[in-house]
Copies of this chain bind each other. A is one copy, B any other.
Amino acid sequence: MSDVRPGGLSRRRFFGLAGAGTAGVIAAGAAGGVIGRATAEEPAGSPGALAADDAVPFHGPHQAGIATAVQDRMHTAAFDVTTTDRAALVRLLRRWTEAAALMTAGEPVGPGGALPAVGEAPPDDTGEALGLPAARLTLTFGVGPGLFTEGGRAEGADRFGLAARRPAALVELPGFAGDRLDPARSGGDLVVQACADDPQVAVHAIRNLARIAFGTATVRWSQLGFGRTSSTTPAQATPRNLFGFKDGTNNVGGDDEAALREHVWVDAAADGAPAWVDGGTYLVARRIAMRVETWDRASLADQERITGRTKGTGAPLHPAVRGRPDDAAGRALLEREPVRVRELPPDSHVALAHPDANAGRKILRRGYSFVDGSDGLGRLDAGLFFVAFCRDPRTQYVPLQAKLSRTDAMAEYLVHTGSGLWAVPPGVRAGEYWAQALLEG
């Protein structure tokens, strides 16, 4: 990765080359109206500003942001394609892919970057990430059923001539018990999930992709999330969800190659899928509002029975341990006699969601918590933006959610308010663009 590109400076090298900033002096305002003495403020070329080891490789057999170690923050956006011109769609995907490769490397969007040499044109990059590192940004792209013209869109049937290439697994998700889906938070012809350790970097990425899409695709909805807790947190701690329970464990670990092959990556030949999705996967997103105020009125014992875990350490509820299973006696018992799924409360979340209760089926969960202000009734609009990647949603997510929505004791406290399913193409090589094999294969 080069530090200096034609037409623009590297985002991270910017301060090292451009020298000391003076913003602090402007605002401090020396007496007499003198502002802007060129006093050093930024640590030019500081090690933090130049570190390149926080960039996640963009190119590869699979897209990043799936098996990648989970970042602190997420900004996901779904787009409606507003053109019916296939060439315009191809141009968008090519420009998006080029921009994504740059931004994930910590570079501004090209060719002019944020500070073009000629100031009389709008910059190609909006600039709010200047000076910020790559922050492990990943951009993960998917295409929804709408691109193949389903769902009664006004554009009519098969606007891009792609209907024959629609994967059978790219279904419209069925309705589930307890769904209260908002169409304005659901679906979308295209989706981009931006994850980074810095919210400004994730927001910058989505914003610049939305800007590139102007005239071709428009943001249908976007969602911010958090959830891994900051770097001040013990490195290995499992994050807690907004019910206060540990909930960051994936059914499939991002470093478990065998499990990824079995449960996440599409094998087109084996799965009867079109070639363009070979090595890709499917992204399920569900915006799940959590009725935290109601949950908070449940007793600790009820919360633990509903979850199937203790709230303290996240240990399974042992049938022989009444009361507080997190103490030394409880842990010693667990050590001697591990809990089996069938011994958990049968309607508890863990008992129903565990792979052992689902014929061994697993998904790769990668969700984030959200708080979107309040709901107008004095309650926080808070919950989980559930994200899962799976090889075939018809046999993995759909049956699991159908069961959970009917029988999970936790379902009483959850309302699904947004939903979407997208096919995620495999990764790209340099010079390729996202979903190229779909449009040209």
Interface residues of A (CB under 8 A from B): 14-15, 18-24, 26-30, 32-38, 41-43, 46, 48-49, 51, 54, 72, 75, 77, 80, 114-117, 119-123, 126-133, 135, 184, 197-200, 203, 206-207, 210-211, 214, 218-224, 226-227, 229-246, 248-251, 253, 292-293, 296-301, 303-304, 309, 311-316, 318, 323-324, 326, 328, 331, 334-335, 338-342, 350, 354-356, 362, 369, 371-374, 376, 378-380, 382
**A–B Cβ pairs within 8 angstroms, 24 of them:** A18-B312, A22-B313, A23-B314, A26-B249, A28-B249, A35-B338, A35-B340, A36-B316, A48-B232, A72-B230, A114-B244, A115-B326, A119-B304, A122-B296, A123-B244, A126-B292, A127-B245, A128-B244, A132-B229, A135-B230, A198-B233, A200-B240, A211-B296, A224-B371
Q: Which of B48, B293, B355 contacts A235 (CB 8 A)?
A: B48
Write out the residue numbers on chain B whose beta carbons fall within 8 Å of the beta carbon of A197.
230, 232
Check if B244 sits within 8 Å of A126, measured CB to CB.
yes
Assuming the contacts A29-B354, A237-B131, A382-B203, asked whether A38 and B232 have C-beta atoms less than 8 A apart, the reply is no
Q: Which of B121, B210, B235 contacts A380 (CB 8 A)?
A: B210
Q: From A379, which residue of chain B is reached at the shortest CB distance?
A: B219
Write out the residue numbers on chain B whose beta carbons fall within 8 Å of the beta carbon of A243.
126-128
**Closest A-B pairs by Cβ, 7 of them:** A127-B244, A23-B314, A218-B378, A27-B249, A119-B301, A36-B316, A21-B313
Check if A21 sits within 8 Å of B234, measured CB to CB.
no
A258 to chain B, nearest CB (A): 13
Check if A22 sits within 8 Å of B316, measured CB to CB.
yes
Check if A374 sits within 8 Å of B221, measured CB to CB.
yes
Write out the residue numbers on chain B whose beta carbons fall within 8 Å of the beta carbon of A341.
33, 35
Check if A222 sits within 8 Å of B19, measured CB to CB.
no
Q: Which of B21, B128, B253 contacts A241 (CB 8 A)?
A: B128
Write out the residue numbers on chain B whose beta carbons fall within 8 Å of the beta carbon of A324.
115, 117, 119
A320 to chain B, nearest CB (A): 12
Write out the residue numbers on chain B whose beta carbons fall within 8 Å of the beta carbon of A221.
373-374
Write out the residue numbers on chain B whose beta carbons fall within 8 Å of the beta carbon of A129.
240
Q: Which of B49, B132, B326 contacts A18 (CB 8 A)?
A: B326
Check if A309 sits within 8 Å of B26, measured CB to CB.
yes
Write out the residue numbers on chain B whose beta carbons fall within 8 Å of the beta carbon of A246.
21, 23
Assuming the contacts A335-B38, A371-B224, asked whether A14 and B234 have C-beta atoms less than 8 A apart, the reply is no
Assuming the contacts A133-B232, A232-B135, A335-B38, asked whether A219 and B309 have C-beta atoms less than 8 A apart, the reply is no
Write out the residue numbers on chain B whose beta carbons fall within 8 Å of the beta carbon of A312.
14, 18, 115, 130
Check if B313 sits within 8 Å of A133, measured CB to CB.
no
Assuming the contacts A128-B244, A222-B380, A299-B119, asked whether A237 and B49 have C-beta atoms less than 8 A apart, the reply is yes
A239 to chain B, nearest CB (A): 8
Write out the residue numbers on chain B whose beta carbons fall within 8 Å of the beta carbon of A214.
293
Write out the residue numbers on chain B whose beta carbons fall within 8 Å of the beta carbon of A184.
376
Cα–Cα, bound, A214→B293 (Å): 9
Assuming the contacts A115-B311, A199-B226, A240-B130, asked whether A234 and B35 have C-beta atoms less than 8 A apart, the reply is no
